[in-house]
Structure 1
Amino acid sequence: MGFGVFIHRSDSIYDDSPAERYQFPPQYLRRVQACIGDWIIYYEPRKVPGTRGYFAVAKVQQVIPDPGAQGMFLALIEPGTYLDFAIPVPFSGTTGLVERGVLNNDGRISGRAQAAVRPLSPSDFSRIVALGLDQAEPLLPRVDPAFPGTGLSEEQTPFVFEESRERVQHLTSRIVRDRVFRKIVLRAYDERCAVTGLKLINGGGRAEVEAAHIRPVEASGPDVVSNGIALSGTAHWMFDRGLIGLSDDLDILISRHANDPDGIRGIVNRTGRAIVPLRCSEQPHRHFLHWHRNHCFKQ
């Protein structure tokens, strides 16, 4: 087992779904097999417009021949392990390259940096994860100083890592994953409710909006931004209980079981459609919307 880097582009020609599978040609088979049972970091190349750099981690569960593409293989991701970074990590920072394993003996970038799949040293893994999950600028706690002792206290505990394997333990922590998921979803939605369109900030400077999973974690929903949506407390309650849903075209659906449909329409933004991020990869994925309509939304 060993850590690795998998290159992925949002406009990839391969049949990739980073939270579920990674498709690759046979020349990378041995490198991918070396990562089975261990963690990999996804990287988006610098030549991609608006590149995210190192943007997520996941654990490789197994490798199989791709049943839908002769000669290709799939690295299957262990359910529940994929996690977007709270802060995407650039290839090169103020202190130089973060992935120092791509340097040759002369300290220059080698051809290894071009490989779509490459091994990653424990020290490079630890460095990149530490930067990606940096909590130096946490979201403010949901406490209004005008009303001390009320609200939900969400004090941010800094990540303390010593070794790469300790970092792995943090990657599986539900507390850590919920905190990171909230940050990436609220950032993608500019802290604005997708249903109401409101961006409300409380007296403590904290946005009154929540990060909701479209397909819940309890139903094997991944912690990926395309499985998330920013909702106000009331909209979140209705979404989880199937009183509202979204079509594939992001139209806001109101259940026939709602006892006050006119009242619900009154809080929906004027467009009648969910307000979502501009970046396609951050918008609700149809796969998750379909699951919500079939298993949660009350038709």
Structure 2
Amino acid sequence: MAGERADRRPTRWHIAVFLAPAVLIYTAVMIIPLFGTLQLSLFSTVDNRQIFVGLKNFATLFGDERWADSFWNALWNNTWFFIVHMVVQNPIGVLLAALLSHPRLRFSAFYRTAIFVPTILSFVIVGFTWKLILSPLWGVAPELLDMIGLKHLFTPWLGKEDYALTTLGLISVWQFVGIPMMLIYAALLSIPEEILEAAECDGITGFSQFWKIQLPLILPAIGIISILTFVGNFNAFDLIYSAQGALAGPNYATDILGTFLYRTFFGFQLQIGDPNMGATIASIMFFIILAGVCLYLFAIQTRLRRYQF
């Protein structure tokens, strides 16, 4: 009996004590509002009373012309906003990380800091600043293009339906390219020197070394960056709102799920707020993000593990 008692592991109560504050805060801030939103999406207001309607709000959002056109427009814009980041931001981040990790590059710390600084700026500052820069009336963009003989290329990009969303996507890329750069930079530094030295002994140097040796080893980090980009872009709201307002002009060309949710839930100008339909849109956003995260965790991450060292 004494031996059995000695073999028993002591209860580690301190783990629960240390985790309890974080769990309570996360539950109060995230879990309870999430379930409250999901619950609210299943009700509708009739005569100032909440009536359970099941999935009727979702059917209205997908099928009713008054809602469906705006929803599918916002969803497509959100998807395009994400594509711009994936195609432009992340490859540039990888390229910058590869350049800044070169041992012979001077002032690399200064370059890293300069590229990362925009990520700590407020969305409001970034939105209004770029709106002023690109303004055809008092912006500096026409003059800057004129200095290099390209003024004929200038157009009010934020005022045209065909260019506004892509322009805002590129502004967001400018602001946040420092995040994938730093994550990839850290992943490159974590590669053991023995692997790189072995590659050099085999005659693999320069770009070939990065393409054949380093890139496969940092694929897990690229996967993490991709899913963070997905979650961040389908939660986007601030930049569009600060630059284009709640109506996400021109003519809803920059309307994404976040701004659509804002107008629906709180109301704007002549549109009356509908918390139930707003909660329905928020629930759809949650399910989209959940599906993307699950796809990454169960289908993509398992294949990337073989590249880890």
TM class by shorter chain equals under 0.3
Greater RCO (Cα-Cα under 8 Å, separation 6 or more) = 2
Q: With structure 1 as the length reference, what TM-score do the two structures score?
A: 0.21
More strand by percentage: 1
Query: TM-score of the superposition, structure 2-length normalised?
Result: 0.21
**Higher share of residues assigned helix:** 2
In our comparison, the structure showing a higher alpha carbon Rg is 2
